[in-house]
Structure 1
Amino acid sequence: MPRTRYWFDSVIARGTPVLIGWLTLVCLAVVVPASMALVWADRRVPRTWSGQLAAVWVSVGQTLKIGGAVGSPLYVLLSVLLALVALLFVSTLVGLITNGLNDRVLDLRRGRSTVLEERHTVLLGWSEQVFPIVSELVVANSNRRRAVVAVLGPKDKAEMEDEIALAVGRLGRTRLICRSGVTTDPAVVALARPETARAVLVLTHAGEGGDAHVVKTLLALEAAVRGRGRRRPEVVAAVRDGRHHRAAQLAAGPRGRVLNIEDVTARLIAQTSREPGLSLVHQELLDFEGDEFYTVREPALTGHAFGRLLLAYATSSVIGIVPAGGGVELNPAQDRVLRADDRILLVTEDDDTAVLADGPLPVDEAAITQPGATAAAAERFLVLGWNRRAPLIIEQLEPCAPEGSELVVMAAGEEALREAGRCARSRTGRMRITVHDGDITDPRDLDALDVPSFDRAVVLGYDDADGTDRAVPGALTGDDRTLVTLLHLRALEEASGRELAVVTEMADDRNRLLAPAREGSDFIVGGRLISLLMTQIAENRHLADVFDALFSAEGDSLHLKPAPHYVLPGREVTFATVVESGRRQGHCVLGYRLYGQAREGPAYGVRINPDKREHVRLGPQDSVIVLTREPVPIPGGRKAGRQTPREYEHFTHP
């Protein structure tokens, strides 16, 4: 058998003429004996040898499509020649048609044809962002007919389709179109018809030159739609390094919006480290499952003060106003009047569920409380690991930390230690910062820190591009290092019997499922977070200003406040009562978190935008989710920031 296979391979390797010769001999060796058998098996077989040979010839000719004519030698020769010419012509024509169809099919499978769609969503590039974005778009398009998502990436079309199908699953009403090509070539970008799209999302690119690739893709997009006589689509992109944000924004143009992954991730880590569970609130608001941000016009409320709007909806939570001239006002002053051209920013299940309440919502005046002025106790923060986002995290933590707080950083590698030391020396605020040289995956180094004595901990992932992982020979890298660190922290918690509030940063959302952490713990995955933000902006361009304000260094942001600051603990009240109590303190109340359900998925106790007519019983350890400006604690228990007036107007239903 091996020799036969070897002989067959040798024949094929000798070229087409030899292959045709062998094919002819094999064909004759099969057809001629079979034709002789057919003739001799026929009852009407001629009696003479010449007649039998002629019958065999006719059978062979009909089988091989060369005629099989009987007559003079010249006549037979010419008929065979014509039959061979016809056979050659037909075979060549069939071959050309087959090759053309094959080339066309291969071209289609490679994804080289133009997308003939309008009002579709275009994704330019290929990264881990593809999967959460497509998944969220499928949910967002569940009530939309003929929704189309076009993905243009450097991979093979079939490979991209298979990966998306495996990661996302059923696409529902959304149709997926994949095209293959380099996104930095305007001619290739034009295949996705970005000029007819409702939104274009430029995905981040892996590697050291990732942000440069994003900028080039934005420039290629501009070149692809330039001069086509159509309005340019909404463009949303993201960069990993804040130093490249301005260049990317210039490349995106006036209708483009570029998100800074480092900035958004650092701010959310800092906020969550002060208020455990806050990442779950953002996750609940940013995905398309459940309730999310919408903007609506409500002529019936024109001329009313913002304070009245908070109880105008029973199943929607008002959090701000979007002026017609642009921008957004999150939690404006209570007397801010809604103008006719303003839009109301609210949290609701869908854009058609923002319906005014039928009448006044029930408020239990006797259950409303006011927070007392208490001195903030000093806290100890622990930061394990170091990356480019660490200085910004510390910058966000320091102003809000109580006087006398301490922050300890443990990092490894000369560059990381040098950066951490420079950051510690540059801080002269209320929080003392110290830096320790150690490996966060080494239990001996962690034991030396007395980890259970800290109130808060942040586990950061090293940036591969900085070479920090390579600074320690044999050290783990990326999320592997983070997972091992979490294992050691979990062991220290069990040994000490004390739970530590840990915020963990990860690069890959799939590794979050492997993390040895308690249910409901805070995980910040920068890529997934930005993917959710990009998808929300692509679906509603007004939300770009909302997220800019929500994640800005100044202004109002989401917080988890103790429930006793709003209503009497243990007393059953309507959620409208909680909202009214928050309004009197200048807060927009969005929901609550139940401490007793903090370990129970999938919501982990978080309830966003409950019906204001529902009754709820909040305990002393429960939290209320509010939108407000974070006050800066000062000695003596007083707080600087937005002042809460003692006199307030009791608004009734408009």
Structure 2
Amino acid sequence: IEAGCPQCRAVSKIPARLKLMASFPSSNFAKVDWSRSRISYMLDVMLERHPMSYMCLLAMGCVALTLIGGIIFNKNRYSTFNQKLEDSFWDAWACVCASSMHLKETTRAERAIGLMLAMCGILVYTLLMGTINAQFKSHMDRLREGAHSQVYEDGHIVICGANNHLVTVLKQINKRQAHHWRSGAARSRKQTVLLLSERPRAYTDQLVMSVKDQPHLNILTRSGSLSSTLSFLRVGADKARTVCFLSNKDDTYEADAEVVLSVLALRPLLQGFKGNVIAEVSKASSANLLMSLSGTRVQTVQNLSAKLFVQCSRQPGLRDVYRQVLSYGKHVINLYKYPGLSGLHYQQVRRGFPEAIICGILREGKLDFHPHEDLVVRSSDKFLVIAPKGTQKEAPHSLVKIAERYRKTLNTIDKILCDLAFLVSSINLQHEVSLQAAEKVLARKERIVILGWRPDVCDMVLEYDDYVGPGSELVILAEASLEERQLVMDRRFSRPLRNITLTHKIGSPMSRTDLKLAITNIAPEFGNEDTPPLSICVIADGKWHVGGTPKADKQSAFALLLAEALCREYKIKVTSLVAEFVDKKLGKQVVQSHPSLNYICTHELSGLVTTQVSENSDLNAVWTELLNSWGNEIYVQDIGLYATTNEAPSFNELVERAVLREEVAIGYRRGNKVVINPKSKEIPLRFKPGDALVVIAEDQYGVS
């Protein structure tokens, strides 16, 4: 190559070496900073993604110890004993597995090696056992939570959700199972109840801790999504005798939405389902929606807390009446058919049960508490019978004999008169508006003070508006702001108030100053007998529940006692001083020390209603009417309306006098004792002023 040629000179030039910094990609381990924190992070990530990798690391460590120990043993023993490598590995493995093997070594070096291997073996064994225990415990916790276990039961009860009246429902199921077991109707001594909730299992266990030892209940708890069909399939809902949905949200809209989604998730399993499905809802619109989505398979029970509180706060002693007629094992409302009594008049049937009380009839889906006395009974009629559960399933033999003679003489004219009599007895349903208007004229003006605030206070205000007369006043004292209250009322008031003037006051129900101003503003006339009656009601404020149910009950008790002290100090006459409690024991303690006070456990009463409906869905219509202002209700009427002071009438005589007022007498109250369905109805009864007769009537004031 000639140096003079420019092309050759260009080719002959050797390019200089470029000083480039070569580096691995970021994904290559050569660039990884092998620090302790980075290694620890990588181990955490590996263990989080693959929990069983911890076992693999321990196994690898154990193998590494065996290999290292075997090589060291072989180097020390090969020149002396000419030991094979595999024998050295076996000796090292023996030292790792059994810590006592290093004691057999003779030389100093072998003893040191054996001691090191034994200590490392103990460490590996400890870590291995700890890992196995942790994995086993984690797996058992997952099984106990119910996320993966299949329930193999038949005829059990599934309760979905958890709220404050869950304990009451479980106690009633226990009493029912005990009765069925004693009578021979139950196949087993214990009834299996499965609690399915989205809340942590620890919460449900704590809620039902007081009923875990019930002798006739086998309570199982599971956690799972209530909007997933798979959750209901795993708990065997398709084979259950009853599936009950409890409202477990404070917000009524959220609670109803959750119940609707849960029922939709259960719907694919309802094909061929022979049990009952009960759902608690807050609104009538939600109940109608459930019925349209699921058909007649689902029975809805509306939230009755507000209705129960208003009724019991206005009538002292009504709380005890509800406990009697709703508690299993006492005298409750039953629905029975008596085909053998067809042809008799209703009056004959009503008077023909000496050990029970007939308080109405259910015909063709229509409920009538006051049928015409001459109504001829049909074989398809169902009677409302107040008696202990399991009794009075058969009509008295003497009454059946009378019915047989009547059927022989029954002709076409009697059948026509029968239909006309039932039509006349149902005329009240056709003129519901006019009857309500007449009641409003007779209703008296009242003054009410509500201490505390939560969203369902709006429902209570509407209930009070249905009972009190025009010109009544209602004051709400709570710490909640006016904006918060107005926002809730705008959403929940379905109609304007007709009879109540509502006043809001901001203050603490536990503040003497705030409480004094609220009471004295609505009751300024001290000692005036002509002023409208005053009622003071304490409810568990929404903020009080933040610290749990015990805290809310304690603050309710304090506010109630403070209100009583202020009324006594300023000589304000109060017709009713009542507070809402969850803990019934605390309520009893307060009432025992202060007899003028009263308490209501609305959650307990709501649970009793749900239990009754879950056993017999036909009772849903009965209790829906009894607990609403538009229909018949249970009243505790003054005994002076039925008997004079010098009289000693029997209960049967009082029953007939109540019939003249278009009422059904079901019991009486003497002193503080309530008696429903007295055993002997012919014994003369002596009453004192303040005693009362318990009746079912459409109007509290009756017909004079």
Q: TM-score, normalised by structure 2?
A: 0.65
Partner of 1:124: 160
Partner of 1:181: 224
Taking a change above 3 Å as real, the CA distance of residues 115 and 621 of structure 1, as seen in their structure-2 partners, is same
Which residue among 511, 514, 517 is the counterpart of 1:442? 511
| Residue 650 (structure 2) pairs with residue 608 (structure 1) | no
Taking a change above 3 Å as real, the CA distance of residues 127 and 340 of structure 1, as seen in their structure-2 partners, is same
The worse-fitting range, judged by mean Cα deviation, of 170-179 and 411-420 is 411-420
Partner of 2:482: 414
Partner of 1:25: 95
For the 8 Å contact 2:470–2:498, the answer to whether it is kept is no
Matches of 2:483 and 2:609, distance apart in 1:
32
Residue identity in the other structure for 2:248: H
Residue identity in the other structure for 1:198: R
Matches of 2:395 and 2:372, distance apart in 1:
21
Matches of 1:514 and 1:129, distance apart in 2:
20
Q: State the SS of the aligned residue for 2:351.
A: coil
Matches of 1:100 and 1:420, distance apart in 2:
49
Residue identity in the other structure for 2:664: C
| Residue 459 (structure 2) pairs with residue 459 (structure 1) | no
- 5+ residue gaps, structure 1, are 1-10, 37-48, 50-63, 65-91, 361-373, 471-475, 599-604, 632-638, 645-654
**Aligned pairs (5 A) from 1:348-363:** 348-353=387-392
Taking a change above 3 Å as real, the CA distance of residues 320 and 99 of structure 1, as seen in their structure-2 partners, is same
**Aligned pairs (5 A) from 1:47-66:** none
Partner of 2:197: 153
For the 8 Å contact 1:137–1:535, the answer to whether it is kept is yes
Matches of 1:545 and 1:486, distance apart in 2:
35
| Residue 392 (structure 2) pairs with residue 317 (structure 1) | no
Which residue among 316, 327, 331 is the counterpart of 2:370? 331
**Aligned pairs (5 A) from 1:339-418:** 339-353=378-392, 378-398=445-465, 400-402=467-469, 405-412=472-479, 413-415=481-483, 418=486
| Residue 253 (structure 2) pairs with residue 217 (structure 1) | no
Aligned-residue offset at 1:629 = 0.6
Matches of 2:487 and 2:544, distance apart in 1:
11
Taking a change above 3 Å as real, the CA distance of residues 387 and 128 of structure 1, as seen in their structure-2 partners, is closer
| Residue 691 (structure 2) pairs with residue 617 (structure 1) | no
Taking a change above 3 Å as real, the CA distance of residues 115 and 469 of structure 1, as seen in their structure-2 partners, is closer
Partner of 2:279: 237
Aligned-residue offset at 1:587 = 1.0
Q: State the SS of the aligned residue for 1:201.
A: strand
Aligned-residue offset at 1:17 = 3.7
Q: State the SS of the aligned residue for 1:18.
A: helix
Taking a change above 3 Å as real, the CA distance of residues 356 and 578 of structure 1, as seen in their structure-2 partners, is farther
**Aligned pairs (5 A) from 1:69-108:** 108=143
Matches of 1:375 and 1:207, distance apart in 2:
36
Taking a change above 3 Å as real, the CA distance of residues 468 and 178 of structure 1, as seen in their structure-2 partners, is closer
Aligned-residue offset at 1:581 = 1.7
Matches of 2:157 and 2:206, distance apart in 1:
19
Aligned-residue offset at 1:477 = 8.9
Residue identity in the other structure for 1:205: N
More relative contact order in 1 or in 2 (CA 8 Å, sep 6+)? Answer: 1
Matches of 1:160 and 1:434, distance apart in 2:
39
Aligned-residue offset at 1:607 = 1.3
For the 8 Å contact 2:663–2:696, the answer to whether it is kept is yes
Partner of 1:482: 556
Alpha-carbon deviations, 1:86-139, whole Å to 9, x = none? xxxxxx9xxxx9999989866653433333333222111233333221111001
Taking a change above 3 Å as real, the CA distance of residues 630 and 522 of structure 1, as seen in their structure-2 partners, is farther
Aligned-residue offset at 1:543 = 0.6
Taking a change above 3 Å as real, the CA distance of residues 110 and 265 of structure 1, as seen in their structure-2 partners, is closer
Which residue among 558, 577, 584 is the counterpart of 2:653? 577
Aligned-residue offset at 1:589 = 0.8
- 5+ residue gaps, structure 2, are 1-53, 67-92, 107-117, 119-127, 181-185, 400-440
Matches of 2:175 and 2:514, distance apart in 1:
45
Q: State the SS of the aligned residue for 1:292.
A: strand
Aligned-residue offset at 1:513 = 6.0
Matches of 2:487 and 2:220, distance apart in 1:
45
Taking a change above 3 Å as real, the CA distance of residues 271 and 306 of structure 1, as seen in their structure-2 partners, is farther
Q: TM-score, normalised by structure 1?
A: 0.70
Partner of 1:59: none
Higher helix share: 2
Aligned-residue offset at 1:437 = 4.3
For the 8 Å contact 2:359–2:664, the answer to whether it is kept is yes
Partner of 1:552: 628
Matches of 1:576 and 1:350, distance apart in 2:
22
Taking a change above 3 Å as real, the CA distance of residues 139 and 519 of structure 1, as seen in their structure-2 partners, is farther
For the 8 Å contact 2:338–2:394, the answer to whether it is kept is no
| Residue 610 (structure 2) pairs with residue 541 (structure 1) | no
Residue identity in the other structure for 1:257: Q
Aligned-residue offset at 1:533 = 1.5
Matches of 1:520 and 1:217, distance apart in 2:
44
Which residue among 501, 504, 508 is the counterpart of 2:579? 504
Taking a change above 3 Å as real, the CA distance of residues 157 and 575 of structure 1, as seen in their structure-2 partners, is same
User: What is the count of residue pairs matched by the alignment?
Assistant: 534
| Residue 566 (structure 2) pairs with residue 492 (structure 1) | yes
Aligned-residue offset at 1:379 = 3.9
Residue identity in the other structure for 2:626: L
| Residue 621 (structure 2) pairs with residue 586 (structure 1) | no
Q: State the SS of the aligned residue for 1:383.
A: strand
For the 8 Å contact 1:461–1:478, the answer to whether it is kept is no
